[in-house]
Amino acid sequence: MKLKIAFQGERGAYSEEAAIQFFGQEVEFITCRDITSVFNLVEAGGADYGVVPLENSIEGSINETYDLLLSTSLKVSGEVNLKVTHCLIAHPEADPIKIKKVISHPQALAQCRIYLLSKRFEVVPSYDTAGSVRKIFEEKLLDTAAIASERAAQIYGMKILDRQIEDYGRNYTRFLVIGERDAEPTGEDKTSIIFSLPHIPGSLYRALEEFAIREINLTKIESRPTKHRPFEYYFYIDFEGHRRNPIIQEALDSLSKKTLFLKVLGSYPRAKIQ
């Protein structure tokens, strides 16, 4: 039986590319309109794994994903660093000179801000990059272009007007693979956790000290509002090592004594940037 993999967007979305990079083609892909639906489907058992965006090297974090990691019971079992190359895509019958409007996901629009300003297009946010291409195809919009991947253009039989329109060439999006359990140790692993702290001087310093004294390398730290107490935060941290490593276990045990709340999201193989 094939694995069922859920992702946000339509066929040809960058999330699907990330899923293919991690799982290959011999799986069943399930499209979801938004990130919340991916989490819900995997939690309900409708998919074995989900692939969700977490952060972009140009535009930063995807807050929706961070918030869902807090509330879900799912574990992080993998990550993908996908190089994102944006194309300007139009209907095959469209005249490039008559393109007045560009639609795409807000993240893609933001990553191409300089290009779009130079062209003076009207910019319209949409729920998905590939979904924008599909909309132009289905509705035969001749005055509108989409920002999406070359693969999306191929899937829907559209034409590419321009390539590599992102503002910065080294444009990567980090995706997480989520499921019911995390991964076995490989020797090159990361662990992700969430915690909250007493609202007193030095609490964050003392928490991070548990990693420093054991020479555990932090690779990411992010804060998000608790939404329950004004201007108090959850801290999301990624660090090198697997949770089963005795040194990591010792650090987490000590950290738990200094936090109000601690959740281990999972350990998983560390992805490389290609």
Q: What is the DSSP string of 208-269?
A: HHHHHTTTPPEEEEEEEE-SSSTT-EEEEEEEES-TTSHHHHHHHHHHHTT-SEEEEEEEEE
Per the structure, the complete domain to which residue 216 belongs is given by 189-269
Q: Among residues 22, 23, 175, 195, which one is catalytic?
A: 175
Active-site annotation holds for 22: no
Q: What is the pLDDT along the chain (274 residues), one digit of tens a residue?
A: 899 999 999 999 999 999 999 999 999 999 999 999 999 999 999 999 999 999 999 888 999 999 999 999 999 999 999 999 999 999 999 999 999 999 999 999 999 999 999 999 999 999 999 999 999 999 999 999 999 999 999 999 999 999 999 998 889 999 999 999 999 999 999 999 999 999 899 999 999 999 999 999 999 999 999 887 788 899 999 999 999 999 999 999 999 999 999 999 999 999 988 6
Neighbours of 25 (CB within 10 A): 7
75 and 91 share one domain: no
> Distance between the two ends of the chain, CA-based, in angstroms?
31
244 and 129 share one domain: no
Query: Is 30 inside any structural domain?
Result: yes
- How many domains does the structure of the chain reveal? 3
74 and 21 share one domain: yes
Contact status, residue 197 vs residue 255, Cβ threshold 8 Å: no
Confidence (pTM) = 0.92
Q: What is the pLDDT of residue 169?
A: 83
Query: Is 52 inside any structural domain?
Result: yes
Active-site annotation holds for 173: yes
Query: Is 274 inside any structural domain?
Result: no
75 and 101 share one domain: no
Instruction: Tokens for 60, please give them.
Output: 């930063």
Contact status, residue 226 vs residue 272, Cβ threshold 8 Å: no
Q: Among residues 65, 144, 173, 259, which one is catalytic?
A: 173
56 and 23 share one domain: yes
